[in-house]
Amino acid sequence: MAANDAAQRTVKIDVVSDTVCPWCYVGKARLQKAISSFQSKPEGKGVRFEVNWHPFQLNPGAPADDPGKPKLEVYYSKFGKERVEAMLPQMAATFQQEGLPPYSMEGKTGSTLNSHRLISWAGKAHGVEAQNRLVDKLFESYFTQAKYINDRSVLLDAAVGAGLPEKEAAAVIDDPTAVLDEVEGELRRAYASGISGVPNFSIGRQQLSGAQDPSVLERALAAAAAA
């Protein structure tokens, strides 16, 4: 491909993620660093990256109207207290290294289905940039502000904070069937494709699992842009 062709190209990136996965938040930050670094180089000038977010549920059995449980209680039950207490300083340090707000284990956790419905709607109705802003707001609310991911007001505040129309967002949140078929279809495709952990990045022909280092992601971006 000629340099001019590459410079005019839009490269699609698909990210499978859950809104209660801290490494997904880290992965988003690292992806943005990789994109910024690549676009600052001659071969990246003018290359546009379209980042699309797709659902995954780490706890698919949680009911959509789940009132939630304390995060630490759930983590202790799932991983054991000793392992969790070893994980928390690492996670806090990682957030700091990536320039994210301070990591918090306060608050509740529970079903992420409604957050995924909102994310899917944002992308379809208002585009990938609005969707990415919403994903940022949801991550920030849950991981750094101790807000419950399945609380109506938290979802609506995140939507408004991302610049989405309040009435439209409220209508999606309040209708449990809105965008549900699309989200459930994407969940089935993710599981059927063998994805068992998140984040999972599809960049061009490459699929990368986990919150990869920005340098790894940038190489994938460069390969996709040059293909």
Listed as own residue / partner, the contacts of 215-219 with beta carbons closer than 8 Å and 24 or more positions apart are 215/34, 217/30, 217/31, 217/34, 218/34, 218/37, 218/38
Model pLDDT, residue 66? 85
Nearest to 221 by CA among 98, 41, 95: 41
Residue 75 pLDDT greater than 70, yes or no: yes
Cβ 112 vs Cβ 18: under 8 Å: yes
Give the tens place of pLDDT for each residue, 155-167. 999 999 999 999 9
Q: What is the pTM assigned to this prediction? A: 0.94
Across the beta sheet with 48-55, what order do the strands follow?
48-55, 10-17, 200-203, 206-209
Q: pLDDT per residue over 163-198, tens digit each?
A: 999 999 999 999 999 999 999 999 999 999 999 999
- Mean pLDDT over 80-105 rounds to 96
Residue 6: the pLDDT is 42
**Contact assessment for residue 98 and residue 90, using Cβ atoms and an 8 Å cutoff:** no
| b/e sequence 7-35, b meaning 16+ C-beta within 10 Å | bebebebebbbbbbbbbbbbbbbbbbbbb
